[in-house]
Amino acid sequence: MEISKLTKARTQLVLDYPFWSCLLMKYPMKAREDIPTLAVDRRGQIYYNEKFIESLEVKQIIWGICHELGHMIGCHAQRMHHRNPKKWNYAGDAWINDWLTADQVGHPIPGCVYMPGSRNELIENIYNKLPDSPDGGGGQGKSIGGIGDGLLPEGEQKSKEEAAAAEAEMKVAVAQAANVAKMKGKMSAHMKQIVDDIINVKTPWYDILERFMTSKVKNDSSWNRPNRRFIGQDLYLPSLDSIGAMDSVAIQIDESGSIGTEELNYFAGHMNKILEQCRPAKVYVIHTDSEVSCVEEFTADQYPITLERRGGGGTDMREGFNWLLENGVTPAAMVTLTDGYTPYPESVPFPTIWAMTTDQVAPAEAGETVNVEVAHG
């Protein structure tokens, strides 16, 4: 009986690449005819096309399997959020393929995405550097398989808690696989660095802010198959279809002088992307120093909103909350951009997050905190 190429590849993984073989034992593969090459979904299931696998050399199969595992251990599907799926997949491919190439894992499938040095960057940063071209990656190679976020019918999407648990489980699996590789003398210096980065990955502040905001959206979002097809595969993404998925959002700006124009513009750029995703019916922008100096109102047809300095003086961010209560406004979410050197409310009447430009942390009773790291230059 002839041994299949896939079986040979799995055997060679065990012998030569213990890190990847340990992960594959935890996350097995499944054949699917409608997948043209290889793919992985958010649940951690890897799919492959049998004819495509048989068309490859054994070392190319090894490379392809590890490529899909790379999407998983990098939690790429969970980190995509509102971004362009095809461009995001290119960024993930660049990160993974540079890692596999540097570690001499199998043989690359000809023509795939390759951007030297990508393994040393966050995928979010790689994404931001890519052009918005029709192929998603500026002609820097083709994708062999995506980070499919589909095959999950409406209602089966992981909750925030389930996603966090899955990510924690993934980090444990990576740590265990790394220990096995180390014991077998198969842990290179740059692999160790990447594994450490995966285990200790720091989620970008704007992703944390987006998760906070989207968690407050009414549960009338829908899965929109036609508009979110992913690279020719039957893998698709959820989207919010209607304006007014949130009633209102309040954004409070610290006008004490600690927030400069550069910080404000940087914050506004990311905030507008989040607003486009959440689609609140109205946005209140509250400018506050020792009191509320100005309040601007924007409706959904006025996106993107502009944030400009309107005052300057002392600091008391409690005043923004007072203004909302006095005017009978109950936002679905409240975001305050500040350096954190302010009195805090003893309690908050609506979901609140403090976007700190310093390392300050708001008291637990005042809401959640995210530390904004401003990209200068």
Q: Sorting pLDDT into bands at 50, 70 and 90, what band is 238?
A: very low
In a domain, 207, yes or no: no
Structure confidence at residue 39 (pLDDT): 85
Structure confidence at residue 226 (pLDDT): 34
- The total of structural domains in the chain comes to 2
- Contact yes or no for 290/313 (Cβ under 8 A): yes
For residues 116 and 246, the model is more confident at: 116
For residues 54 and 160, the model is more confident at: 54
In a domain, 238, yes or no: yes
Last residue of a domain, one of 202, 221, 239: 202
Alpha carbon distances (Å) from 246 to 68, 128, 187, 215, 330: 36, 28, 48, 10, 11
Res 223 pLDDT > 80: no
Number of H helices, E strands in the chain: 12, 11
- Contact yes or no for 265/253 (Cβ under 8 A): no
Structure confidence at residue 370 (pLDDT): 87
Same domain membership, residue 98 and residue 64? yes
Structure confidence at residue 164 (pLDDT): 67
Residue 211, classed as helix, strand or coil, is helix
pLDDT (average), residues 31-49: 84
The 10s digit of each residue's pLDDT in 172-209 is 888 888 888 888 888 888 788 778 877 776 667 877 78
Same domain membership, residue 230 and residue 180? no
Same domain membership, residue 230 and residue 133? no
Last residue of a domain, one of 170, 202, 234: 202
Last residue of a domain, one of 182, 202, 222: 202
Structure confidence at residue 81 (pLDDT): 72
Structure confidence at residue 319 (pLDDT): 96
Q: Furthest-apart CA pair in the chain: how many Å?
A: 82
Element containing residue 282 per DSSP (H, E): strand 280-288
Compute the distance between CA of residue 171 and CA of residue 124 in angstroms, rounded to an integer.
Answer: 19
Res 270 pLDDT > 90: no
Same domain membership, residue 217 and residue 197? no
The identity of residue 11, as a single letter, is: T
Question: Residue 320 is part of which domain span?
Answer: 212-371
pLDDT (average), residues 156-168: 64
Percent of the chain exceeding pLDDT 70 equals: 81
Structure confidence at residue 62 (pLDDT): 95
Residue 124: both structure tokens together = 């979010």
pLDDT (average), residues 281-301: 92
The 10s digit of each residue's pLDDT in 300-342 is 888 888 888 876 677 899 999 999 999 999 999 999 999 999 9
Domain of 341, CATH number, reads 3.40.50
In a domain, 376, yes or no: no
* DSSP assignment string, 129-142: HS---TTSSTTS-B
Same domain membership, residue 243 and residue 198? no
Write down the pTM of the prediction: 0.57
